[in-house]
Amino acid sequence: MPALLKKLIDRGDKVMIENGLLNIETHSKITPPESWLKTNEDQLIEEMVRSFKLRLYKYSDYNLGRTKGHSKDRLTLNFIEILTGETISLIFNVDRKKIRSTKNGKKGDPLPKGKFIVGKRSKLYELWTKLNLEKPRKPSEFNNKLSLLKGIYFFGIKEECNYGFKFKDKIIKRANINIDDLMLTNSQEDANQLLNSRQHHAKESCQGFPSNPVGAMDCGENNYVSSKVRTKSEAQRVADKVSYSDFYSTEKKLPMYQSNQEWLDDYGE
């Protein structure tokens, strides 16, 4: 039984990550049900990452408190590099005291457990804006919005530091990856040229967060995609629109003629 990513590609389906979210455009124009995506997303992402050596990150959890050598309270957002399992952190200063007096307490009193304030001039607020995430109703309710990071895949430049790994310049960006774009290269040299041609776009994207070009990004110091991209000989079936008779028995319908249930039946749903 072929791997799931290969099965989708061999069918003529397009697998991609757009604006940080997994997206599948099926050859049959059938939208995969949410239940199928939920069940198979982790496997698909894992296969994508390992096939192309992608430096892709996902949010894990957060910690709140003071760290050694710092007098201010700090919020630590933890991300997992899918390829290695390593934890990479983003750390921001936050305020855990009331900024004004109310009926519930005086200015300077501690906020309730787990709450913190993020100012509009803070690096975290700036990042939240660039990631286009919903902001809280009140500055002290930011903790209720951290879960919005889950389910999004990110690019960033990983650096070693005294507590493990961090993201360079506290920058992460929603990932955009087009698998077809990576596979249809004639050689490793062509793949490198593909990445290098986007380098000036990617550097701008990493700093200013405009929309990046289709495909994988490269921010100079670290390639998000390994130079060992599949060659055309390995991807020829995709380029030549694979002969379905080699993959399906004559009793099966081609993807474009399948119903939703028939599409699911191919994957054991």
Is the distance from CB of 58 to CB of 86 less than 8 angstroms? Answer: no
**CA–CA distance, 194 with 51 (Å, rounded to integer):** 17
Please report which confidence band the pLDDT of residue 131 belongs to, taking 50, 70 and 90 as the band edges: very high
Instruction: Judge whether residue 2 has pLDDT over 80.
Output: no
More confident residue, 103 or 5: 5
Q: Which one, of 126, 211, 212, lies nearest residue 170 by Cα?
A: 126
Predicted local distance difference test score (pLDDT) of residue 69: 65
**Residue 172 CB: number of other CB atoms within 10 A?**
26
Most confident of 63-67, 103-107, 138-142: 138-142
Name residues whose C-beta falls within 8 Å of residue 203's C-beta, 6 or more positions apart in sequence: 219, 220
More confident residue, 201 or 50: 50
Name residues whose C-beta falls within 8 Å of residue 91's C-beta, 6 or more positions apart in sequence: 67, 74, 75, 76, 77, 166, 170
More confident residue, 18 or 264: 18
Q: Residue 251 phi/psi, 5° resolution?
A: -85, -15
Radius of gyration of the chain (CA): 22
Alpha-carbon dihedral sign for residues 204, 210, 212, 216: positive
Residue 145 token pair? 């919005």
Long-range Cβ contacts of 4-10 (<8 Å, 24+ apart): 4/40, 4/43, 4/44, 4/47, 4/267, 5/44, 5/47, 5/48, 5/51, 5/179, 7/266, 7/267, 8/44, 9/179, 9/183, 9/237, 9/238, 10/237, 10/238, 10/242, 10/247
What average pLDDT does the segment 90-97 reach?
A: 90
Please report which confidence band the pLDDT of residue 244 belongs to, taking 50, 70 and 90 as the band edges: very low
Instruction: Judge whether residue 126 has pLDDT over 90.
Output: yes
